[in-house]
Amino acid sequence: MGGGTPDPSGRSVLIQLSRLRRIRDMDTDNDTVTVEAGCVLQDVQSATRAVGRLFPLSLGAEGSCTIGGNLGTNAGGTQVLRYGNARELTLGLEVVTAEGEIWNGLRGLRKDNTGYDLRDLYIGSEGTLGIITAATLRLYPLPQASYAGLLAFAGLAEAVAFLSVARQRFSATLTAFEIISAEVLRLIGQNRPQFSLPVNPGEAGVAWYALLEISDTHSHQNVRNVFTDVVAQGVEDGLVIDAIVAESEAQRQHLWLLREHEISAAQNVEGPNVKHDVSVRISQIPSFVDEVVERLRERFPGCRPVIFGHLGDGNLHFNVSAPEGQDAHDFMQWEQEIHDIVHEAVRVFSGSISAEHGIGQAKVSLLRNHKSAVELDLMLRIKQALDPHNLFNPGKVLQPVLDKSQMIVSTR
Amino acid sequence: MGGGTPDPSGRSVLIQLSRLRRIRDMDTDNDTVTVEAGCVLQDVQSATRAVGRLFPLSLGAEGSCTIGGNLGTNAGGTQVLRYGNARELTLGLEVVTAEGEIWNGLRGLRKDNTGYDLRDLYIGSEGTLGIITAATLRLYPLPQASYAGLLAFAGLAEAVAFLSVARQRFSATLTAFEIISAEVLRLIGQNRPQFSLPVNPGEAGVAWYALLEISDTHSHQNVRNVFTDVVAQGVEDGLVIDAIVAESEAQRQHLWLLREHEISAAQNVEGPNVKHDVSVRISQIPSFVDEVVERLRERFPGCRPVIFGHLGDGNLHFNVSAPEGQDAHDFMQWEQEIHDIVHEAVRVFSGSISAEHGIGQAKVSLLRNHKSAVELDLMLRIKQALDPHNLFNPGKVLQPVLDKSQMIVSTR
């Protein structure tokens, strides 16, 4: 990282960064790539694909988001089930510290037990402990064949039970298990007539769908056989009601379009809604959803929960839309109360109020209700140890805790 | 964790722990198990196998080592290539802090982006930041079939090239790629006549062997076909000289006996040797080994490098034995100089002087030569933030840095 001494505000460091959006090193024998923080995620995906490797981080914003942002927020996405979050995809970092010094942690080693794990402290800290300027990332074999299908379930309990079967049978070839409620599909049918739904979401007895995908380095035929075999077992066991399988790449992409584009498009037609990004243990998902839906419908009769997400990670995008006929903007007056209902259930179920989106400013006031005093104190000590003058991304993550703690800390 | 207030020395906490060596919770739908720190690794393996799940951490000491120790040292072992180190196998921790408080981080979530990653800070900190009292661990599907073989290579460059092929073709079914030098096999042949070597290590042109294993949830026949197919490709490409494959479970276990028991048994016959546990990028392994062997032989003509380890992780156990005929105890007078030669090469190759064994006391004086001042300063700040009175495992990991820093820190 360039020559000049960074000024204390960190500004000169940032200016240098804008010129360094590039890939520093590709090491196929080590299965790693070292990139600048300013690299766009899609550029990393393309550059590694060109040498026959997969960088598995994959999310809607991949065409514009940067690796620095992905690591700062420990991004998730659609392949976490198989490859983990951004954290698990990172071997090392280069970071500018609060002293304006550079920590070079880009050794690219898979094993290194020589002291504290600084890497994972910076990942997910949302820029509040230091500035990530580069990263060494893990690469994987490029799958040769993918196979996807949309499966219908009577309830979430059956979907969770079948996820367990699918994990056992598919093992590491299971790369996605995304759920979408039948209500969400009906909303798409209603608001997005230009999109051809692959199933009839009015089917009796079906309340949930799951988009399953398996990916393998073996032949397509082999992958297809295993897929249909396991789905048939699910039907036989009474877990799966029925299933459609994508028989072409175009059909597979159509299923992903449904998941990644049509849900939000269908919601947008109606105006704003109250969004949540929550996680609980996978085993708790059915009772969590029952509980929250019941509380919401008690308080706001007719409100429409729009629920979809990464069942394989225990992560739901749990949005709440206005009752049919009610103005969406009017409904938003209840936003805070709806958040409170959902987040209180998250607390009771020992879940997370931000599974993959981080804290930022939006959730900064919630942390005190969702973390123990012990955990907040530990985080505060780390913030003060690494950024004693609160230079980095002030106002984010820990700010209210910092504000409240000034006196407590100074007397320690 | 029990009722009484722990006393400031932490002693009462430790006494409670000795009574709590048990499994707290098994959640097969979430694929997690929550265990006390005092649980023996093998007990965790057995308990999870009983419910059809794999806890993949696997190492020689598994019959006696505890989960607390495994996490404190971020243990590695023979399946890191597929499943990662202890760090990657852990979803959450319960920790006693320096204030005698308990941080409960056992939510068992796969995604939770709400603040700093305390979990990974404690893992690998060797008990110097807090006392790990329990952990929630990830479980995996139990493989239905494993297949292993011993492959012969002309050199490490060929082994690294074939590892790359094997990763692409086997993908996540590749669970081990362990290398052993032909010299090591000859030493076993000489010192352990009771062990029947599966190959003739005197074969012309063979300098290295690799123990490969693939494990899958598919049928044994399928696994065997893929294995022999990929090995045949390696031979055809001129990377593999020849190979034996284990045609029975007994033969497979015989190969693992060679790797896990016979190497150290053969070394022990000769008395002590100078041991190292190092890692470099996988791509750098051939030049690293060349360089170190050359330097060692220059300085100590006839000395015998005994090299084996986890090639798939870039991790070598690089031991050095006395020249034939020289007394092993005599040779140990050069221990420090031998360490210096090996560790200097590690520094030049940007590797790690402790890939999986940690720092402890033995390597505590080396840290200053192998970490930048920036990194040491960051680690020191964390130590002082979380354990300001140096209560936890004093003398380990950072001690000399702590000693030297007292004045610097107090003037900050």
Q: Which of B53, B71, B113, B276 is the mutation pick for testing A, counting most A CBs within 10 A? A: B113
The DSSP string of A206-222 is: --EEEEEEEEESS-HHH
Question: A32-36 and B32-36: which strand pairing?
Answer: unpaired
Q: Is B58 helix (H, G, I), strand (E, B) or coil?
A: strand
CA A3 to chain centre: 36
Rounded percentage of chain A residues whose pLDDT exceeds 90: 82
Q: Pick the residue with more confidence: B10 or A35?
A: A35
Q: Which two tokens stand for residue A12?
A: 């000169």
Average of per-residue pLDDT across A51-78: 94
Q: How far apart are CA B299 and CA B308, in angstroms?
A: 22
- Note whether B282 contacts A30, CB cutoff 8 Å: yes
B122: DSSP letter: H
Longest pairwise C-alpha distance within chain B: 68
What are the pLDDT digits (tens) for B355-400? 998 999 889 889 888 999 999 999 999 999 999 999 999 989 987 7
Q: Please state whether the predicted TM-score (pTM) of the whole model is above 0.90.
A: yes
- Note whether A111 contacts B85, CB cutoff 8 Å: yes
- Note whether B107 contacts A281, CB cutoff 8 Å: yes
Chain B CB contacts of A377 under 8 Å are 99
Q: Which of A28, A54, A116 is the mutation pick for testing B, counting most B CBs within 10 A? A: A116
Rounded percentage of chain B residues whose pLDDT exceeds 90: 82
User: Does residue A136 have a pLDDT over 60?
Assistant: yes
Q: How far apart are CA B113 and CA B277, in angstroms?
A: 34
What are the pLDDT digits (tens) for B120-138? 999 999 999 999 999 999 9
- Note whether A113 contacts B352, CB cutoff 8 Å: yes
Q: How far apart are CA B316 and CA A85, in angstroms?
A: 28
Q: Which of A48, A110, A347 is the mutation pick for testing B, counting most B CBs within 10 A? A: A110
* CB-nearest partner of B372 from A103, A111, A217: A103
- Note whether A27 contacts B283, CB cutoff 8 Å: yes
- Note whether B113 contacts A354, CB cutoff 8 Å: yes
CA angle B168, B170, B173 (to 5 degrees): 135
Average of per-residue pLDDT across A319-343: 96
Residues in chain A: 412
CA B52 to chain centre: 25
Question: B23-27 and A208-216: which strand pairing?
Answer: unpaired
Chain B CB contacts of A280 under 8 Å are 109
Reported in sequence order, the residue ranges of B182-249 that DSSP labels E, i.e. its strands, are: 208-216, 242-245
- The phi and psi torsions of A246 (rounded to 5 degrees) equal -80, 115
Chain B CB contacts of A112 under 8 Å are 279, 352, 354-355
ipTM above 0.90, yes or no: yes
